Structure 1
Amino acid sequence: MRPEPGQVITVFRSRLRPEGAEAYAEHAERMSALARTMPGYVEHKVFTAPDGERVTLVTFADAEGHRTWAEDAEHRAAQRAGVEGYYEQYSIAVGTVERAHAWRRA
Structure 2
Amino acid sequence: MQLYPETSIAVIFCAQRTGVDEDGYQAAAAAMSELVARQPGYLGDDHARSGDGLGITISYWQDDASAKAWRDHPEHVVIRERGRGRWYSQYTLHVARVERGYDWQK
What range is the shorter-chain TM-score in? 0.7 to 0.9
Task: Output the TM-score relative to the length of structure 1.
Answer: 0.88
Q: 1:103 to 1:92 in 2, by over 3 A?
A: closer
Gaps of 5+ in 1: none
For residues 15 and 43 of structure 1, the distance between their equivalents in structure 2, rounded to whole angstroms, comes to: 22
Quick check: 1:57 aligned with 2:58?
A: yes
CA contact (8 A) 1:38 1:69 kept: yes
CA RMSD of aligned residues (A): 1.7
Contact map agreement 2:7 2:100 (CA 8 A) in 1: no
Q: TM-score, normalised by structure 2?
A: 0.88
Identify if the C-alpha distance between structure 1 residues 103 and 57 changes in structure 2 by more than 3 Å, giving closer, same or farther.
closer
Equivalent residue runs for 1:3-82 within 5 Å = 3-82=4-83
Determine if contact 1:3/1:100 at 8 Å carries over to the other structure: no
Number of aligned residue pairs: give it.
Answer: 105
How far off its partner does 1:6 sit? 2.1
Q: Percent identity?
A: 21
